[in-house]
Structure 1
Amino acid sequence: MTTEVPVKLTIETLARETFAPFGDVIQADDAAKHFTINEGNTERYHDLAAIDPGADGRAIVSIFRGKPRSLPFTITLMERHPKASQAFIPLSGKPYLVVVAKAETAPAVQDLRVFLCHGDQGVNYAPGVWHHPLLALESVCDFLIIDRAGPGDNCDIVQMDAPSIIPALG
């Protein structure tokens, strides 16, 4: 019996340009369209993500409370929501990881991308984009989630074809 050696994944810094094939980065910074409202008291960072509830769906808002994961961490499965987008906006100000792969086919290890997100960066997975379930890091973290409610099954889960591992940070 042979055991496969896990592939060591590379952790990338989350940026709009590198994450674009998978969805949107949700972040209040100078790159986002923004303007002053409320008699000059508030800066509005406008239309930060293409929220797509899909046909016959409606956008819902939830809070997910994620327990921290320890690194190194082995990726064994991925999921996707084929009917709609899914946005994750951190509320706890802590860093977290996202693991993604393009929507075309079930992901293989070589398709995985890992991004380190700062506590002020959210992500919006485009419909059908493969991603790993929530990967909070330092402590229990809350995330505001905007996703779909509606008819039909909107969650596909696949087991990975080979092991891969996210190394410890640093």
Structure 2
Amino acid sequence: MAVVDVKLEKLSEVSMRDFSTFGRIIGRDEDTEEGKYELHPVDAKAAVENSMIKAYWDLIPFKDNKEDRFSMGMLFVYPKPIGEILNWTEVHYETYEFFFPLGGKQFIFVLAPKSKVPEAEKTRAFLIGPNEGVLLNKGTWHYPPFAIDGPTPVLMPRFGKLGEISGDVTEAYGKKWETPVGNRYFKGQLHALKTDYYGEGYGGEYKIRIIL
């Protein structure tokens, strides 16, 4: 497979509707966004607005249930040379993931839309931050985020089918999940349970190079 060049885009120049192919932009004034679409199910209006605060309480009305779990994670991501070949990607079919850069920093995210296998030709690369974060939708293919200027702290909440890995098979939510311990899952850690990988070392070919 030939390497596919993907131009780096500033998330700040991408519309919320355009990004909805992959997830949701978090951090913009919601009053300026009209219409309903994926992960934008309501025309949000501020619940409270005064001289001290403008607050939106329920941008995405996730339903309360016993089948999903919330976790609060923290990443410290490191730089990767622009132009280095990215030859694999991953997907979580039953989990939402949020990524918020801290410290006024930015990171790069390489994303492909929902599909059975990731499509290199539909892959896009975004420079995210410092004033916005993103929610990745279930099923969005993604290479792990990486920094552009030294170690970057990233707040990472998750919501969905999360479970502590007990071995090559983990029982949770009344089901048995394949969780091969090794380079995919780590025993005793909280993982997104239905996760796939694609590319070098995982079967299939996927080669992306970011260009400026």
TM-score, normalising length from structure 2?
A: 0.67
Partner of 1:9: 6
Alignment of 1:16-35 (within 5 A): 16-29=16-29, 31=32, 33-34=45-46
Map 1:1-170 onto structure 2 (within 5 A): 6-14=3-11, 15=14, 16-29=16-29, 31=32, 33-34=45-46, 36=48, 40-48=51-59, 56-148=67-159, 149-150=162-163, 151=172, 152=177, 153-159=193-199, 161-167=205-211, 169=212
Question: Is contact 2:110-2:145 (8 Å) kept?
Answer: no
Task: Spell out, residue by residue over 1:97-134, the C-alpha distance to the aligned partner (whole angstroms, 9 max, x if none).
Answer: 21111112211321211122231111111111111111
Is the deviation greater in 28-37 or in 46-55?
A: 46-55
Closer, same or farther: CA 101–54 of 1 in aligned 2, 3 Å: farther
Task: Tell me how far 1:78 sits from its aligned partner.
Answer: 0.8
TM-score norm. by structure 1 comes to 0.81
* Number of residue equivalences: 164
Question: Which residues of structure 2 form unaligned runs of 5+?
Answer: 34-44, 164-171, 178-192
- SS for the counterpart of 1:74 is coil
Distance 1:45 1:72, change over 3 A: farther
Structure 2 letter corresponding to 1:163: K
Superposition CA RMSD, Å: 2.6
Contact preservation (8 Å) 2:76, 2:152: yes
Gaps of 5+ in 1: none
Higher relative contact order by CA 8 Å / sep ≥ 6: 1 or 2?
1
